[in-house]
Chains A and B, each alone.
Chain A
Amino acid sequence: MSLTEIAFYFLSFLAIFSALAVILSKNPVYSVLYLIVTFFSIAGHYFLMNAQFLAAVHIIVYAGAIMVLFLYVIMMLNLNEEQEEKTKNWVKIAAVVSACSIMLILVSLISKSTYNMGKAPMAGDAGLVQNLGKVLYKDYLLPFELASVLFLAAMVGAVYLSKKETSKS
């Protein structure tokens, strides 16, 4: 077993088990911390696939920005485990059944698929910043600019929504 294989399996199990812990832990703060572990292992997968730019962006955006946002909101709302959520039993069963059936469908699709043609081209440097930047600013310039508009709208929306309502009447 080579080193990359070991790294792949280690990161995969880390991702899956911490994802399970996100779902099953009672305290939302623990869920956020396990989610950070999941995100770091996914970033490790990106590194393994030589997508260095995406790995860096993933750590910055998810572990840096989104997780801080989640933690802030959870601590501001003061959600502790004493507010025990009561999931009904039939909801639990339905969740297990539907998640398992989605898993079953996807796994059977993947194992049945004949997507296995020839040799892979293996352009090893597709994920480097230089190549990604060229594609991003040449072929995907318009979506890139639209993304900035989306961010502006999201920012305005978030500020407007979280503003305290001043009494108008």
Chain B
Amino acid sequence: MEILPNITIQHYLWLSTTLFALGVFGVLLRRNAILMFMCIELMLNAVNIALVAFSKVHGDTSGQVFVFFIMVVAAAEVAVGLAILMMLYRNLRTTDTDALNNLKG
């Protein structure tokens, strides 16, 4: 099932998988909250690539509408998340997630 000449849906799924795994890796590895946000964006975009590829395969526009909504949610998420980060930094002077252990018993 080719999307482009000689490029099948599997190629796009492998690309999407790799980007998603890299995003997971980044979220787990980095302790800086802003970097973790960026890796979450990476994961969202990996899913978007898979959705667009499937939409292309099926000739159905709905997949691309879903991608549009994912972008909407990502933008809202980044706006609120960065505001929360600013508050955190103002109160604790750090964005290191290991320092945020006030709720630990």
Contact = CB atoms under 8 A, between A and B. Distances in A.
A87 B29 contact: yes
Contacts of A28: 32, 34-35
Main secondary structure on B side of the interface with A:
helix
Contacts of B57: 120-121
A126 B14 contact: no
Contacts of B2: 120
Contacts of B31: 85-87
A120 to B, nearest CB: 5
Contacts of B19: 15-16, 19
B87 A99 contact: no
A66 B61 contact: no
Nearest to B74: A66
Contacts of A49: 3-4, 52-53, 56
Interface residues of A, number: 87
22 contacts: A2-B6, A8-B11, A28-B35, A45-B52, A51-B55, A66-B75, A73-B34, A73-B85, A77-B86, A79-B34, A83-B96, A119-B1, A126-B59, A136-B65, A140-B62, A140-B69, A154-B75, A154-B80, A158-B82, A161-B84, A162-B86, A162-B87
Contacts, number: 234
Contacts of B83: 157-159, 161-162
Given A23-B30, A57-B68, A69 B4 contact: no
A61 B17 CA distance: 23
A103 B21 contact: yes
Given A31-B38, A121-B58, A140 B65 contact: yes
B23 to A, nearest CB: 8
A131 B61 contact: yes
A5 B6 contact: yes
B1 A65 contact: no
Interface string A68-86: 0110011011010001011
B86 A62 contact: no
Given A22-B42, A51-B52, A73-B34, A92 B59 contact: no
A161 B59 contact: no
Interface in B15-56: 15, 17-26, 28-32, 34-35, 37-39, 41-42, 45, 48-49, 52-53, 55-56
Contacts of A155: 79
Given A8-B11, A61-B71, A132 B89 contact: no
